[in-house]
Amino acid sequence: MPVESARRHVVLMAVPLAVIALGVFASVLVPYGYPMKWMTVVRPFEEPSPFLIVHASAGALAVTIAVRRGSSSPGHLATAFALIGILAATIMTGIAVKVFLDAGYWKHVLVFAAPIPVALVLAFNALLLRGWDRMLVLLGAFAIAALPFSCPLIPGMFNLFSGGLVYLAADLTLLAMVVRAILAPR
């Protein structure tokens, strides 16, 4: 992919990354009861959570991409932030898979285990590329790795740790932008 095309697509992806990062501070509407009612939940910051690494790396990526948008490559710092976010998301998803496996919830295991190898293979293949092409594939791996956090199968994970529907919309937008960028004519 030409450098200008990859750079243009990656710079546009800073917006959903910033939304993912800001989702930590947003209050979340949580559905409950029958008939369904909505309750506003504000996430307390009493103790740090490993889920915050995903949000922090998304924010750091958005800032780094915005700062480096005029250069010939996103730089090593952006690559490091992307890899940290991918690894944190896959580790937390792996922990969820282990919990589901121990409880015998096979449907949940299959849903949560699928993104792990896909994200890791994409991340390792991205390291073989250079410049903005590398960042484009790393953002695809990040979007896939972070996707399980938007799954409502775990109400606490969905509502309190990810920002709920806002996180889902931002992550799916990021994933759609990556697919569009990869399929764009060259």
- Name the amino acid, one letter, at 129: L
Task: Supply the DSSP symbol for 41.
Answer: E
Q: Is residue 23 part of a domain?
A: yes
- Cβ contacts of 118 within 8 Å, gap of 6 or more: 141, 144
- Please count the structural domains in the chain: 1
User: Within 10 Å of residue 175's Cβ, how many Cβ atoms?
Assistant: 18
Please write the tens of the pLDDT for every residue from 127-185: 999 888 999 999 999 999 888 877 665 544 555 555 567 777 888 888 898 889 888 87
Q: Does residue 105 sit within a domain?
A: yes
Asked if residue 28 belongs to a domain, the reply is yes
Does residue 57 form part of some domain? yes
The reply to whether 56 falls in a domain is yes
Residue 30 falls inside a structural domain = yes
Predicted structure pTM score: 0.83
Secondary structure of residue 129 in the 3-state scheme: coil
Residue 186 lies in a domain: no
Residue 185 lies in a domain: no
Domain enclosing residue 51, as ranges: 3-179
